[in-house]
Amino acid sequence: MQGHSLISQAFEDIRLGDISTTAWRTITEDYVRDFADLTWDRHPLHLNPSYAQQTRFGGQIAHGALMLSTLLGLVDLHPGYLQCFYGLDQVRFHAPTYFGDRVHAVSEVVDIRPRSDAGTAVVTCKGSLINQDDTLVFSGLFSFLVAGHAQAIEIEEVVR
């Protein structure tokens, strides 16, 4: 269901098997360089074309951690319901992401565990980042602490 976020409602309204697909993002050299500057991860595979050309990848690729962050950035996690990022499991980097590639995220709710406080639940989604060739780039299980109706925070505008 394009345009509808899995974590855009109270946990009581989220259902196992719900699926969400995001918009596309193009991975540019500037995007990768900004991430390298922010994190200080300056491996030449990401920043040095002549080095990267000699590797198994044959050219510069984006950081794996950037692809993980890109997936989280693409998914609309509404702050009225999302209380915090809770965990990450079964992380796999399936294919490299080259400069100029386009990616989008697909998420599926695979578990909902109400907590003893009765006001929140841990919602786990299988997140996949897929490129323009329909190649799976990255996947993992993302868990979020999600408010129920009683603990939701009213917010008028979500900045994207």
pTM score, whole prediction: 0.89
Per the listing, tokens 């386009």 go with 102
Q: Decide if pLDDT at 59 tops 70.
A: yes
pLDDT for 91 equals: 96
Q: Above pLDDT 90, what percent of the chain? A: 84
Residue 42 token pair: 């300056």
Which stretches does DSSP call E strand in the chain? 19-21, 25-26, 82-93, 102-114, 120-131, 136-147
